[in-house]
């Protein structure tokens, strides 16, 4: 079954961002022969002390490869779209700071670094347990609220109609704002309580009541856009089979080199639904592996950018919003810089990503002891 949304998202043009010698060292023999040697020794020691951490950092980012031939200067590369236009007409930044797994005491500094570097899109969720610190960092930045894009998500416990607005209000309060730019159904799963027992319910059967309540909150002005997360094609179709007042703005899913999901991407483009890519560099255990992919390293060498920038750029060039997460300042800054990859290199990377069996890392079905698979094998 296929359908078309009444109005799809569009890419927007890129917005460019723009000591003296120590007497105690005297020895017998000509002075001119000893001090050059000492200076050379000290220089070697200093270079080693400085270079070893740098080499470790470069290796950790996967940029340890021999580059043959002239490299292009990244400043000469074309930029990719900095925003997409949603069906509502709102412009959403194409790269966001993801704060999943960013711990307390770290996430605030990460957000401050990101905002200072030029990020204007922060992707969070109630279940991340760090929205209060994120809100404090946003307040400290003094960036006007209208210049920011804030996303949160409705957790599985709060699908009862009477709980949805309360859950949203908690996130609004912690973030220090009176509205969200985007609010997502976090998973197509609802946790219901009967007595002391928790019942896991598949929302596929009837996701509409939750969606209707979210539409009411849009009308109240508490949310500007609503969407979904971790929905496969069948679940999207089950939702949109209803007469919706507001179509889903985005679908946020695990999307990376190891799990490229070309079918979902193609279907979503054909039906005007924008995908957001979480874990774009792979899960924590996959990042090093991702940055060491031969095709990724070859493109990085050719273009004079880092492997991480290659992967994030590839994701934006596929037409998705990308949500890289980090608490390391240098990586946060690096991840925001995306460049257009030459078409032949883009196609090479696309083929490489599709050449292996998909490796989905995030699937809580077993951990939650669900009687169904959240992804139905997709």
Active-site amino acid positions:
128
Q: 125: Cβ–Cβ under 8 A, 6 or more apart, which residues?
A: 100, 131, 152, 153, 155, 184, 186
Nearest one of 287, 244, 235 to 264, comparing CA atoms: 235
Tokens 């079954």 belong to residue: 1
Nearest one of 125, 142, 18 to 82, comparing CA atoms: 18
Q: 56: Cβ–Cβ under 8 A, 6 or more apart, which residues?
A: none
For the chain, helix (H) and strand (E) counts, in that order, are 12, 13
Q: What is the DSSP letter of 71?
A: P
| DSSP states along 168-230 | HHHHHHHHT-S-BSEEEE--SEEEEEETTEEEEEETTS--HHHHHHHHHHHHTTSBS-EEEES
Extract the tokens encoding 263. 């079918």
Rounded Cα gap, residues 365 and 335, in angstroms:
31
Tokens 């991702």 belong to residue: 290
SS3 call for 131: helix
Residue 274 pairs in a beta bridge with: 250
Rounded Cα gap, residues 188 and 232, in angstroms:
9
Classify the C-alpha dihedral 43-45-47-50 as positive or negative: negative
* Enclosing H/E stretch for 52: helix 31-60
Largest CA-CA distance found in the chain, in angstroms, rounded: 95
352 — phi, psi (to 5°)?
Answer: -65, -40
Tokens 């009837």 belong to residue: 206
């Amino acid at each position: 079954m296929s359908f078309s949304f009444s109005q799809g998202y569009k890419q927007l043009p890129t917005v460019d961002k723009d000591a003296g010698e120590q007497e105690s060292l005297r020895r017998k023999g000509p002075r001119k022969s000893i001090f050059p040697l000492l200076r050379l020794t000290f220089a070697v020691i200093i270079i080693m002390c400085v270079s070893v951490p740098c080499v470790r950092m470069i290796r950790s980012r996967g940029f340890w490869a021999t580059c043959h031939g002239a490299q292009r200067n990244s400043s000469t590369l074309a930029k990719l779209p900095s925003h997409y236009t949603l069906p509502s007409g709102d412009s959403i930044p194409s790269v966001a700071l993801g704060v999943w797994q960013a711990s307390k005491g770290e996430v605030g500094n990460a957000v401050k670094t990101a905002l200072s570097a030029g990020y204007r899109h922060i992707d969070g969720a109630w279940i991340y347990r760090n929205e209060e610190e994120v809100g404090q960092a946003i307040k400290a930045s003094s960036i006007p609220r209208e210049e920011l894009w804030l996303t949160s998500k409705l957790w599985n416990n709060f699908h009862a109609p009477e709980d949805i607005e309360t859950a949203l209000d908690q996130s609004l309060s912690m973030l220090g704002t009176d509205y969200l730019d985007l609010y997502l159904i976090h998973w197509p799963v609802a946790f219901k309580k009967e007595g002391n027992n928790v019942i896991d319910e598949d929302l596929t059967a009837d996701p509409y009541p939750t969606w209707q309540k979210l539409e009411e909150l849009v009308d109240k002005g508490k949310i500007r856009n609503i969407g979904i997360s971790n929905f496969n094609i069948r679940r999207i179709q089950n939702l949109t089979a209803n007469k919706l007042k507001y179509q889903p703005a985005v679908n946020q899913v695990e999307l990376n080199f190891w799990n490229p999901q070309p079918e979902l991407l193609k279907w979503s483009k054909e039906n005007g639904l924008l995908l957001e890519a979480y874990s774009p560099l792979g899960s924590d255990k996959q990042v090093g592996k991702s940055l060491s992919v031969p095709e990724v390293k070859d493109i990085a060498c050719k273009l004079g950018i880092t492997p991480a920038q290659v992967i994030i750029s590839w994701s934006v060039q596929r037409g998705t919003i990308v949500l890289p997460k980090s608490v390391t300042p240098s990586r946060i800054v690096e991840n925001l810089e995306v460049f257009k990859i030459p078409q032949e290199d883009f196609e090479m990377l696309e083929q490489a990503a599709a050449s292996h069996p998909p490796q989905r890392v995030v699937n809580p079905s077993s951990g939650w002891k669900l009687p169904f698979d959240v992804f139905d094998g997709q």
